[in-house]
C-alpha cells in the first residue's frame, strides 16, 4: 500500500550553515541504497525533509533493509500521499489508512496534524480535532489517548498531504563522506568489522588493510576478509582493500626476536605498514578492533607499545566494550556469521604460549633492533607487492 517514504534524520539537523552539505551527502547515500533495490525511485528534498518515492513496482522489505544501511537516517516512515488537500478527501484517506494499517482496532491514538501553508482553511488544532473525530466515527473500538497513544498518527498538509504513523528505525549516525577517511586494520575476527562499522557510522569513509601470511593462512582466510569488507561496505560504501603479504616479516620476527614478544612486535609492524598506506591514501586515522584487556596484546601496556609507532590517531571504537557487546553489534550488522568461520589468522599461527602481558617499550625497541639488517627491505617489499581491490556490494 505504500509507495513513498519520509526519511527522518536527527543529528545533521543541527549543523547550521553546513546543513546542506550533510543533507546532500545523505540524499546521495539514499540514492545509492535505492539503486541497490529492485525498482525505480525518486529521492527528493523539500522543505528541509527528504522523501523517497517509488515509481512503480518495488520490494518494500528490500528497500527498507537497504535504507537501514544509510548512516544519517534516524527513521524511515512509510507514508500515503494524497494529492487533493480538501478536508473531505484527506479525512477519507486517513480513515482508509487506519483501516488497512491497523487490522486490529483495539488501540489508542492521537493525531499530530501539521500544515505548512498558513493559508490552509483549518489550523493544526482544528485539523487534529476534526481528523480525530472522523477516525473515532469510523472505528468504534479505537480510543484517543493524548498522553501515551499506541499510534501517533501524523497528517501533514504540505504541497501534498502526507499520512504516516510507523517509524522504522534507521541506523543513526552521519552520512558517509562528511567525515573524511580512515584506514581500518581488518582481520577475519569479530571485532575489526564492528570497529569499521562504528567509525563509518560517524560519516567516515573506510579503506582497509589485511595482513595475509600465505601459506600459513589460506586463500579461504583471505576470502573471508574480503567477504567481511563487503558486509561493512553495505554501510560504508565501497572499501579499498589492501592485502599485504606479511609472511616474510613474520618469519623474520619469529627468527630474531624473543617469542613472548612476537605478537607485540608483529602488531607494531602492522601499524607501521597500515600507517604508511593510510598516509599515501589520504586517510586521517587508523582503526582497530582492540578492546582493553581482551587478550595479552590488548592490555594497557601492550596498547601503549603498538600505539607508539603511529603518528596518525588510532581509533579504537570497541575499546570499552565487552566481548558480548561487540558480538551484539556484529549480529545486528550481519558480520557475525562470517567472522566466526574457523579459518586461521596470521596472529594465531605465530603466537607464543606465554606472551608478555606487560611489555616494556624500551625492551621491545631494543629487541626490534635485531631486525635492523632485513626489516626495511622486507617492509618495502610488502608494500610494493600489495594487492589492491575495491570491495562493494553488487545488486
For position 339 contacting Mg ion by CB under 5 A, the verdict is no
Q: Are 264 and 297 in contact (CB under 8 A)?
A: yes
Stretch that binds Mg ion, among 2-10, 172-180, 189-197, 322-330 (CB under 5 A): 189-197
**Residue 346 C-beta: closest distance to ligand ATP, Å:** 5
The alpha helices in the chain, defined as continuous H runs, are 19-35, 60-67, 87-101, 124-138, 191-200, 219-236, 247-256, 262-280, 300-307, 323-333, 336-339, 346-349, 361-368, 375-384
Please tell me the distance from the alpha carbon of residue 192 to that of residue 212, in angstroms, as a whole number: 15
For position 189 contacting ligand ATP by CB under 6 A, the verdict is yes
Among ligand ATP, Mg ion, none, what does residue 65 contact (CB within 5–8 Å per kind)?
A: none
State which residue, 77 or 209, has the beta carbon closest to Mg ion: 209
Among 210, 240, 269, 315, binds ligand ATP (CB under 6 A): 210
For position 241 contacting ligand ATP by CB under 6 A, the verdict is no
Among Mg ion, ligand ATP, none, what does residue 128 contact (CB within 5–8 Å per kind)?
A: none
**Residue 294 C-beta: closest distance to ligand ATP, Å:** 6
- Measured CA to CA in angstroms, residue 386 lies from 151, 210, 243 at distances of 55, 10, 6
Q: Are 26 and 73 in contact (CB under 8 A)?
A: yes
Stretch 320-349: interaction string toward ligand ATP, x if CB under 6 A: -------------------------xxx--
With contacts defined by CB under 5 A, how many residues of the chain interact with Mg ion?
Answer: 3
For position 187 contacting ligand ATP by CB under 6 A, the verdict is yes
Among 165, 297, 307, 335, binds ligand ATP (CB under 6 A): 297
Stretch that binds ligand ATP, among 61-69, 136-144, 153-161, 179-187 (CB under 6 A): 179-187
For position 187 contacting Mg ion by CB under 5 A, the verdict is yes
Local structure of 54: helix, strand or coil: strand
For position 189 contacting Mg ion by CB under 5 A, the verdict is yes
For position 359 contacting ligand ATP by CB under 6 A, the verdict is no
Q: Are 134 and 177 in contact (CB under 8 A)?
A: no
Please tell me the distance from the alpha carbon of residue 19 to that of residue 391, in angstroms, as a whole number: 30
Among Mg ion, ligand ATP, none, what does residue 185 contact (CB within 5–8 Å per kind)?
A: ligand ATP
Residue found by looking up cell 598506506 in the block: 277
Residue found by looking up cell 501517533 in the block: 152
What does 114-168 look like in DSSP terms, one character per residue?
EES-TTSSS-HHHHHHHHHHHHHHH-TT-EE-SSS-SEEEEEEESSSEEEE---E
Count of CB atoms within 10 A of residue 285's CB? 18
Q: Which residues of this protein are in contact with ligand ATP, per CB under 6 A? A: 185-187, 189-192, 209-211, 270, 288-290, 294-295, 297-298, 345-347
Q: Which residues of this protein are in contact with Mg ion, per CB under 5 A? A: 187, 189, 345
Amino acid at each position: 500500500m505504500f509507495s513513498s517514504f519520509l526519511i527522518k534524520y536527527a543529528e545533521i539537523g543541527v549543523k547550521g550553515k553546513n546543513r546542506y552539505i550533510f543533507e546532500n551527502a545523505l540524499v546521495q547515500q539514499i540514492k545509492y541504497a535505492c539503486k541497490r533495490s529492485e525498482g525505480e525511485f525518486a529521492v527528493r528534498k523539500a522543505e528541509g525533509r527528504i522523501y523517497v518515492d517509488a515509481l512503480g513496482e518495488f520490494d518494500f522489505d528490500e528497500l527498507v533493509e537497504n535504507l537501514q544501511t544509510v548512516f544519517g537516517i534516524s527513521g524511515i516512515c512509510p507514508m500515503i500521499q494524497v494529492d487533493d488537500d480538501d478536508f473531505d478527501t484527506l479525512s477519507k484517506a486517513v480513515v482508509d489508512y487506519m483501516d488497512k494499517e491497523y487490522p486490529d482496532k483495539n488501540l489508542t491514538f492521537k493525531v499530530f496534524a501539521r500544515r505548512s501553508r498558513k493559508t490552509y482553511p483549518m489550523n493544526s488544532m482544528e485539523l487534529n480535532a476534526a481528523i480525530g473525530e472522523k477516525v473515532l466515527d469510523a472505528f468504534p473500538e479505537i480510543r484517543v489517548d493524548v498522553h501515551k497513544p499506541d499510534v501517533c498518527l501524523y497528517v501533514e498538509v504540505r504541497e501534498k498531504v502526507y499520512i504516516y504513523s510507523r517509524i522504522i528505525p534507521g541506523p543513526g549516525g552521519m552520512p558517509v563522506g562528511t567525515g573524511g577517511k580512515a584506514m581500518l586494520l581488518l582481520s577475519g575476527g569479530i571485532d575489526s568489522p564492528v570497529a569499521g562499522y562504528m567509525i563509518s557510522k560517524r560519516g567516515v569513509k573506510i579503506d582497509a588493510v589485511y595482513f595475509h601470511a600465505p601459506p600459513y593462512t589460506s586463500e579461504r582466510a583471505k576470502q573471508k576478509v574480503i567477504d567481511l569488507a563487503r558486509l561493512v561496505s553495505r554501510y560504508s560504501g565501497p572499501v579499498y582493500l589492501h592485502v599485504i603479504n606479511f609472511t616474510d616479516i613474520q618469519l623474520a620476527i619469529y627468527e630474531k626476536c624473543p617469542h613472548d614478544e612476537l605478537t607485540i612486535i608483529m602488531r607494531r609492524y602492522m601499524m607501521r605498514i597500515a600507517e604508511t598506506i593510510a598516509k599515501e591514501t589520504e586517510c586521517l586515522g587508523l582503526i582497530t578492533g582492540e578492546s582493553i584487556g581482551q587478550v595479552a596484546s590488548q592490555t594497557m601496556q601492550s596498547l601503549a607499545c603498538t600505539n607508539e609507532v603511529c603518528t596518525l590517531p588510532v581509533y579504537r571504537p570497541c575499546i570499552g566494550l565487552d566481548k558480548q557487546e561487540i558480538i551484539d553489534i556484529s549480529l545486528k550488522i550481519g558480520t557475525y556469521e562470517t567472522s566466526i568461520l574457523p579459518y586461521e589468522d596470521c596472529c594465531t599461527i605465530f603466537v607464543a604460549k606465554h606472551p608478555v602481558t606487560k611489555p616494556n617499550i624500551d625492551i621491545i625497541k631494543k629487541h626490534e633492533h635485531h631486525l635492523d639488517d632485513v626489516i626495511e627491505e622486507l617492509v618495502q617489499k610488502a608494500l610494493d607487492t600489495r594487492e589492491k581491490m575495491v570491495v562493494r556490494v553488487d545488486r
